[in-house]
Structure 1
Amino acid sequence: MNQLNQPLLRIRGVRKQYGSRLVLRSIDLDVAEHQVVCLIGGSGSGKSTLLRCVDLLEVVDDGTIHLGDSELTDPRLDPDTARRRIGIVFQAYNLFPHLSVLDNITLAPRRAHGVPRKRAEEEARELLSRFGLADKAKEHPDRLSGGQQQRAAIARALATRPELLLFDEITSALDPELVGEVLDVVEDLKQGGLTILMATHEMGFARHVADQVCFLENGVIVEQGSAQDVLTAPREQATQRFLARVLERS
């Protein structure tokens, strides 16, 4: 259990470097339970790397990451055990093409959590129904639209009942007409009280759904605050320049 008023996710002084390239520079960030925190910033700003560090897909060079009472960056911690508490969805779906949608969703609960097949399939079908995919259970991913594949990927992430969900630009690979259906799913998850840390380029969605917004540039959180403050009245010139560029392209 978390201590009273302690954020679910606590990131302190996280640093990540690839060769001579410093990608994350002393990142500090708290994500409270049931909050949605959106990471915004240009390509190469460090958003995806930060998410991958939280999910232990990348080893941090310095700093600590805590999920509840556990330090995820403790080298003695089994990464697979830690990852069972976290769900992550990537922009490229990453569904297994040789498995049906149902088998994609039940794989982790059965293999990593020891859930019996019958129960895993019952729970997976409930998720598919919730996301409008009840009739796609036996289909393979290549028979689904991009929006349907992304919804299936979200269902797969939820199947292990994670404490924290990470979304990495989950709409960037979608055709514009499919973006809304995926963002509707994320909004439903927020209403259900899930804790979400997501990188996004959808500023309108971030304004609508985020409790906090963090603008990253060159591996640093330049500005963070409420969605209203950061996206409507940013204080920092770097944030203002970024939002002006985004507005020009929209």
Structure 2
Amino acid sequence: MSRPLLRIRGLRKQYGSRPVLRSIDLDVAEHQVVCLIGGSGSGKSTLLRCVDLLEVVDDGTVHLGDSELTDPRLDPDVARRRIGIVFQAYNLFPHLSVLDNITLAPRQVHGVPRKQAEARALELLDRLGLADKAREHPDRLSGGQQQRAAIARALATEPELLLFDEITSALDPELVGEVLDVVADLKQRGLTILMATHEMDFARHVADRVCFLEDGVIVEQGTAEQVLTAPREAATRRFLARALDRS
């Protein structure tokens, strides 16, 4: 069996005296979509931020391929070049056009010539249904369009791993589907994705594996079918019952 693309072992993180992640072990194989589910404060977002080195890990290791991202000798900026992350807030620069937002990192971080970076960006925008928005500024786009532009920006550096942090939670309900359709298309294209989501139906149909977190612990993980339709743990059953009541 091949080694997972992402390997997390014994990951711990706390803020002051408050533990947020408690000895997390998680594997994500290449071309897999793994969904993290759980209530607010369960540790999903912190886990993603630790993988992208936006948070300092207190203990444990994170490996991407053959590299240990948590090795203190590793330049975190070099590590982040292999990962694309999209947050629930779009985080697009308001003073830049959509095209300039997408080409900024390839040009300034990766040294890609402007013409080449713009060609790649326009290809991504076309794929995501935003070809006519390239010269617009973000405030001229709907929430769903801004989130698709943020996904295009993450894809522009051709990352090995994509991290999505509740990317539909700030959207109006009618815009959620268009963003989730993009993620489903990325899965079909073979990208490797670790995402926190509260969209249970989406996770059921798209995720290869689902992990339920509570109080900084992975309480249960398995196939989407097993975790979401026949959970073994009482805590998972309670969470899913509440999630279904809200939907």
Normalising by structure 2, what TM-score?
1.00
The one-letter amino acid of 1:172's match is S
Find the counterpart in structure 2 of residue 97 from structure 1. 94
Structure 2 residue runs without a partner (length 5+): none
Q: Whole-Å Cα distance in 2 between the matches of residues 247 and 185 of structure 1?
A: 24
Q: Whole-Å Cα distance in 1 between the matches of residues 79 and 245 of structure 2?
A: 41
- Where does 1:126-145 land on structure 2 (aligned, <5 Å)? 126-145=123-142
Three-state SS of the structure 1 residue aligned to 2:34 is: strand
- Where does 1:27-66 land on structure 2 (aligned, <5 Å)? 27-66=24-63
Find the counterpart in structure 2 of residue 177 from structure 1. 174
1:163 pairs with one of 153, 160, 164: 160
Structure 1 residue runs without a partner (length 5+): none
Three-state SS of the structure 1 residue aligned to 2:92 is: coil
The one-letter amino acid of 1:51's match is L
C-alpha displacement of 1:183:
0.2
Find the counterpart in structure 2 of residue 194 from structure 1. 191
Q: Whole-Å Cα distance in 1 between the matches of residues 205 and 18 of structure 2?
A: 34
1:115-148 Cα shifts (integer Å, max 9, x gaps): 0000100110000000000010010000000000
Give yes or no for the alignment of 1:68 onto 2:65. yes
Give yes or no for the alignment of 1:207 onto 2:204. yes
Find the counterpart in structure 1 of residue 234 from structure 2. 237
The one-letter amino acid of 1:182's match is V
2:246 pairs with one of 228, 246, 249: 249
C-alpha displacement of 1:240:
0.2
1:144-202 Cα shifts (integer Å, max 9, x gaps): 00000000000000000000000000000000000000000000000000000000000
Three-state SS of the structure 2 residue aligned to 1:102 is: helix
Give yes or no for the alignment of 1:228 onto 2:225. yes
Moved segments of 4+, more than 2 Å: none
| Identity value in percent | 88
Give yes or no for the alignment of 1:14 onto 2:20. no
Residue correspondences, number: 247
Q: Whole-Å Cα distance in 1 between the matches of residues 118 and 193 of structure 2?
A: 25
- Where does 1:86-125 land on structure 2 (aligned, <5 Å)? 86-125=83-122
Q: Whole-Å Cα distance in 1 between the matches of residues 75 and 17 of structure 2?
A: 29
